[in-house]
Chains A and B, each alone.
Chain A
C-alpha cells in the first residue's frame, strides 16, 4: 500500500516537472520569449538552488545563517578559474567545474561548520555573517582571483542556450535536498531543530548532523555559484556581500521555513518581480518593497489559510503540494 502511494506521488512530481520544462522550453526554443524573460531563466534556476539549499540549514536545521553568498562565491570563483584555465570542450570542463566548485564550497562548509558547533541562534548568525565577509576579503586580496577587479571573460557555459542543462541541475538539487530531508539523516537534522536536548538524549550525534547540513547546503550553493559565473561571464567580490545572503534569506522566509515547494515558488516570484516592474521607472524598487511587505503579510494571514482551505483551491494545491 505504502509503496503504491509513493509511486503515485513520484509520477505526479515527474509529470509536473515535464510539463514545466515542456512549456518553458517550448517558449524558449520556439522563440516566443522576450529577451528580457529569456535572460531571467537561468537566474531563476540559480535562486531556486540557493533558496532550497539555504532552506536546509535555515528551515530544517533551524539555524539562521547569513553567509550563503560566501559559499556561492567560493564555488563561482573555483568554477570560473577551472573553465578559464582548462580550455577543454564544454562537456568535459563544465561538469568538472561544477563538481570542483561544489566540493570547494563544501570544504569551506566544513571549515565554518566545525568551529561553530557550539553556537546557536543569534551567535551562529553573526559568525556566519563574519565568515561571508572573510571570504569576500580573501578573494579581494588574492591575485589568482584578480582582486577587486574580478574575473571577466568567463565562457558562457550556463546561459539561456544551455537552459536544459541548468534546469536538470536545478531538479537534481531539489530532489537531492528533498530526499535528504525525508531520509534518516534529514529526520535527525529536523529533530535537532525541534528539540536539541531530546535529540542528543536519544543518541543522535548532533555535531555530525549539524556539520552535514552545513556541508550539503554549501555544496549546492557552490554549484549555484558556478552556474552564476558561467551565466553572467564576470565575477566581482562585491557581488557576494551580505546583501546577497540576505536576498537569499528573504526568499526562504517568504517561501516558508522548511518548505521546499515554498522556496521554489518564492524564488521564481522574487526573481521575476523586479523585472516585471521595470515599467514603473523610478518607483520600481519602492513598488518591489511594498509588494514584498504585502506578500509577507499575506503569507502569514488568515486569508491565505482560508483560500487554501477552499474546496477548489485545495484540489489544486494538493497536486502541487507534492512538487
Chain B
C-alpha cells in the first residue's frame, strides 16, 4: 500500500509539473480587439540601457494611441498591447524570449534591440510570417527576409553618410580613424566609411584600432603624427568620452566626428569643453521643438531625458499603427505588404517610408556639441 501511495504521489507531482509547463499555451488570441506587439531587448546586463529606453519609448506611444481611442482598422478600432521580454542581448536568450512571446499571442514583433539577437530570430519570424520591425538592429543581414523592416540606418549607411558629409560637404581631404575592432557596429561603420572616403577622393591617414580599455594615448599619439585634418571615431559614447579627454591632454585640436553611438557623451565626459565642436549622426535630438511633447511625457513618466533608442521605440509603434490602418486588417501578410506604402512622421525623421528590401528612407540628422550642449548641426 505504501508503494501505491508513493506512485500516486509521484504521478500527481508529474502531472503538476507537466501542467505548469504546458498550461500557459492557449492564451493566444484572447481578444480580437487587441493587437499584441511583442518587444525583445536587453533589460538587464551590459546593454540594458538600450532595451529599457526602447521599451519606455514604445510604452509612451502605445499609451498615446490607446488614450486616443486605439487604431482604426477597417471599420472597427482596436487597442494595442505591448509585451516586452528581456534577452540580455544574448542571441540564445532572444530565441526563448521570442518563443515565449509567441506563446502569449504576439501579433507583430518590435525588435530586437541588439543586432545579434535580431539575427537569431529573423528566421523564426519568417517561419511564423509575422511583421518584424527592429528599432536599432543595424547589421545588413537582418532585413534579408521580406517580413523584416528596420527603422535605423544600417552601419554601412552611417559610414557612407558621414564620409559624404566630411569629404563633400565640409571639404576635408585627410581623415584619421579610431575604431573598436572587437565591436561589430564600430567595424561595420568604419569599413563602409573607408570605402566611401576612397571613392570620394579623400585619404585615410591612419586607422587606429582598439579592442577594449580606457587608455587611448598610443592611438592618439600615432594620429597626431600624421597630417590628418579631422578624426572620425565610430564608437560608443563611453569610449568617446575617454578619447576626447585624452586628445585634449595631448593637445590634439583636430575636429572629432562620430557615429550615432556618441549620443550621451555629455553625461559621461568629465570636462564638457573637450567634446566641444564634435559632430555626430543622430536620428533624434531631445532639444528639437517637434519632440517637446514626447520629451515632456517621457520625463513625467520615467524622470529621464529620452535618448535615440526611446525615440526609435516610439516611432516603431507608430509605424505599426500606420501599417495597421493602411492594411485595414490585422493579418500579417496584409501588414507586411502595406509597409512599403506608408509614410510616417516620427521623432527620428519626417516622412519615413520603407523600401521593399526593408530599409528606411529618411534624412540624416547631424548633431554638434556647442557651448557644452547638443545642438542641431546646420
Contacts and interface: CB of A to CB of B under 8 A. Distances in A.
Interface string A254-285: 00000000000000000000010010001011
A237 B116 contact: no
B18 A39 contact: no
Given A38-B99, A43-B92, A43-B96, A232 B120 contact: yes
A109 to B, nearest CB: 24
A140 B95 contact: no
Sorting the interface of chain B by its residue count into under 10, 10 to 19, 20 to 34 or 35 or more gives: 35 or more
A234 interface: yes
Contacts of A140: 181-182, 211
Contacts of A238: 116, 182
Interface string A129-161: 000000001001100000111101100100000
Given A34-B24, A149-B139, A40 B184 contact: no
A39 B123 contact: no
Interface in A287-305: none
Interface in B89-130: 90-92, 95-100, 102-103, 116, 119-120, 123
B218 interface: no
B182 A236 contact: no
A156 B123 CA distance: 10
Contacts of B184: 147-150, 236
Given A35-B99, A232-B92, A149 B187 contact: yes
A131 B123 CA distance: 34
Given A137-B211, A232-B95, A284 B116 contact: no
A138 B92 CA distance: 22
B227 interface: no
A45 B211 CA distance: 33
Contacts of B43: 282, 284
**A interface: dominant SS:** helix
Nearest to A312: B6
Contacts of B24: 34
A39 B95 contact: yes
B100 A148 contact: no
A239 B22 CA distance: 30
A34 B119 contact: no
B85 interface: yes
Contacts of B287: none
A150 B142 CA distance: 13
A27 B22 contact: yes
B141 interface: yes
B163 to A, nearest CB: 20
Contacts of B57: none
A27 B91 contact: no
A147 B86 CA distance: 26
Contacts of A150: 116, 184
Contacts of A38: 99
A238 B186 CA distance: 14
B92 A231 contact: yes
Contacts of A228: 92
A29 interface: no
B188 interface: yes
Interface in B1-54: 6, 14, 18, 21-22, 24-25, 43-44
Nearest to B117: A234
Given A36-B96, A137-B211, A147-B187, A233 B44 contact: no
B214 interface: no
B192 to A, nearest CB: 12
Contacts of A312: 6
Contacts of A282: 43
B215 interface: no
Contacts of A233: 91, 119-120, 123
Given A27-B22, A33-B22, A34-B24, A234 B100 contact: no
20 contacts: A23-B14, A33-B25, A34-B21, A34-B22, A34-B25, A35-B99, A35-B102, A148-B181, A148-B183, A148-B184, A150-B116, A152-B139, A231-B95, A232-B92, A233-B120, A234-B91, A239-B90, A278-B85, A278-B97, A284-B86
Interface of B: 6, 14, 18, 21-22, 24-25, 43-44, 85-86, 90-92, 95-100, 102-103, 116, 119-120, 123, 139, 141, 181-184, 186-188, 211
Given A36-B100, A285-B44, 14 more contacts: A32-B22, A33-B25, A34-B99, A35-B102, A39-B96, A43-B92, A140-B182, A147-B181, A147-B187, A152-B139, A233-B119, A236-B116, A237-B182, A239-B91
